[in-house]
Amino acid sequence: MRAFEFPDVEEDEIGRLGDDLSALGERFEAALASVDDGDALDALRLTFLGRNGEITALRRSIGTLPAAERPEAGKTINEAVARLEAQLERASSALTNRELAAQLDVAIDVTFPAPPARTGSIHPLRRTLEDACDYFQRRGFAVVLGDEIETEYYNFDALNIPADHPAREGFDTFYLANGKLLRPHTSPTQIRTMQQHPPPIAIVNPGKAYRRDAVDARHSYMFSQIEGLLVAPGIHLGHLKGMLTGLCRELFGPNQAVRFRPSFFPFTEPSAEVDTTCPGCGGSGKRGDAGCKTCGGSGWIEIGGSGMVHPDVLRECNYDPERVSGWAFGLGVERIAMVRYDVDDLRVFFENDPAVLAQLA
Ligand code: DAH
């Protein structure tokens, strides 16, 4: 009599799973062979490996197996998944390579004109400052750079503007938490230079200044000035007028004139506002039949302030007002550049649109 044989359940179930998987593998390979782009590849991945894909269905069926067989079944499925993924990976990089090769295959026409190379240009404000400095350097002036953060002493007191002086209000100064300030004009550099060097002195000082101004076509919280200072025995206002006339001719053209309008600055006596012939209309105040827009019809444009250095300022720097005298000026660089480049809004200088800058170059 034949002994009873237990049916080999384990072999059967796992064997069937193996058959299912290899059939699945064959269908997968057949489908993969006809994939020719990334979208089709993604679709294939979903069909077999996606959340509702065939492999997931097989994994769910593991639950129906006797507990002892589940680990083995799981392992078999994991191995199959790894094989499919490796094949997908290979197919994906083959596709990428094919696309790259196709791109390279396009004939390159080496005679095709290249896009024009864009050259940079000097910014109009810098160009104006450089031209002005250059004019003074050729006349023996030194260019001195001051600090943008200053103390009340250099910015006000030493310039004859004591703490209770109403002129302080006019400067709309930004004060810093440490008691210092953002200089509202370049004039403190006059004091620093004179306190470091005995007379004679001849400097120009270009740089930025800051004021609590709202931004519009003519104002900004940050702007540029160029300061000039000449102190020596016998210096008088005529020297200043001659020097500024030469500067305006260099910046605007050979027919420029300069006029002084009486004004007030605590650090100069007498003081004057500086106007030069409007380059927009040549001083006539008219452009064609209309009034000149640049100067508003007056024929003059204002470019800054100036005067003879106040004796108190000289004394503060240990200069003897009986022996030396001097002139000083402070010009608004944006104002000069607006007229020079015929720009009616100074924001153009700060927005730095490359197309606009290229036009002004
Ligand atoms: N610091 C003056 C300002 O910003 C301009 C100025 C006027 C400067 C007269 C000078 C000067 O050196 O002498 O309004």
Across the chain, mean pLDDT equals 92
Q: For the chain, state the CA radius of gyration.
A: 41
pLDDT at 232 (0 to 100): 98
Q: Is the pLDDT of residue 100 over 90?
A: no
State pLDDT tens for residues 71-88: 888 899 999 999 999 999
How close is the Cα of 96 to the center of ligand 1, in Å? 68
Site to probe by mutation for ligand 1, drawn from 155, 156, 186, 187 as the one with most ligand atoms within 8 Å of Cβ, is: 187
Q: Is the pLDDT of residue 45 over 70?
A: yes
pLDDT at 271 (0 to 100): 98
Phi and psi at 15, nearest 5°, equal -60, -40
Nearest residue (CA) to ligand 1, atom 4: 185
Which contiguous run of DSSP H or E holds residue 327?
strand 325-332
Peptide bond into 115 cis (omega under 30): no
Site to probe by mutation for ligand 1, drawn from 183, 306, 308 as the one with most ligand atoms within 8 Å of Cβ, is: 306
Q: 46: number of CA atoms within 13 Å, CB side?
A: 6
Q: Which has the minimum average pLDDT: 12-16, 141-145, 343-347, 349-353?
A: 12-16
Please tell me if the CB atom of residue 328 comes closer than 6 angstroms to any atom of ligand 1. Answer: yes
Largest CA distance in the chain: 144
pLDDT at 7 (0 to 100): 54
Q: Is the pLDDT of residue 4 over 60?
A: yes
The pLDDT-based confidence of 320 (bands split at 50, 70, 90) is very high
Please tell me if the CB atom of residue 207 comes closer than 6 angstroms to any atom of ligand 1. Answer: no
Please tell me what DSSP assigns to residue 289: T
pLDDT at 58 (0 to 100): 87
Which contiguous run of DSSP H or E holds residue 82?
helix 70-105
Which tokens in the block code for residue 355?
A: 């197309």
Please tell me if the CB atom of residue 188 comes closer than 6 angstroms to any atom of ligand 1. Answer: no
State pLDDT tens for residues 153-172: 999 999 999 999 999 999 99
Q: Domain boundaries in the chain?
A: 13-105, 124-360
State pLDDT tens for residues 271-308: 999 999 999 999 999 988 899 988 999 999 999 999 99
Point out which residues pair with 230 in neighbouring strands.
202, 327
Do residues 310 and 267 make contact, with C-beta atoms less than 8 angstroms apart?
yes
Please tell me if the CB atom of residue 183 comes closer than 6 angstroms to any atom of ligand 1. Answer: no
Angle between helices 54-61 and 70-105 (to 10 degrees): 170
Q: CA separation (Å) from 187 to 5, 95, 301?
A: 112, 70, 22
pLDDT at 110 (0 to 100): 84
pTM over 0.75: no
How close is the Cα of 331 to the center of ligand 1, in Å? 7
Nearest residue (CA) to ligand 1, atom 7: 305
Domain 124-360 fold is BirA Bifunctional Protein; domain 2 (3.30.930)
Please tell me if the CB atom of residue 337 comes closer than 6 angstroms to any atom of ligand 1. Answer: no
Please tell me if the CB atom of residue 326 comes closer than 6 angstroms to any atom of ligand 1. Answer: no
The pLDDT-based confidence of 5 (bands split at 50, 70, 90) is low
Please tell me if the CB atom of residue 329 comes closer than 6 angstroms to any atom of ligand 1. Answer: yes
Separation of alpha carbons 357 and 214, rounded Å: 24
Please tell me if the CB atom of residue 193 comes closer than 6 angstroms to any atom of ligand 1. Answer: no
Please tell me if the CB atom of residue 294 comes closer than 6 angstroms to any atom of ligand 1. Answer: no
Q: Is the pLDDT of residue 201 over 80?
A: yes
How large a percentage of the chain has pLDDT more than 90? 71
State pLDDT tens for residues 8-43: 555 567 788 888 888 899 999 999 999 988 899 999
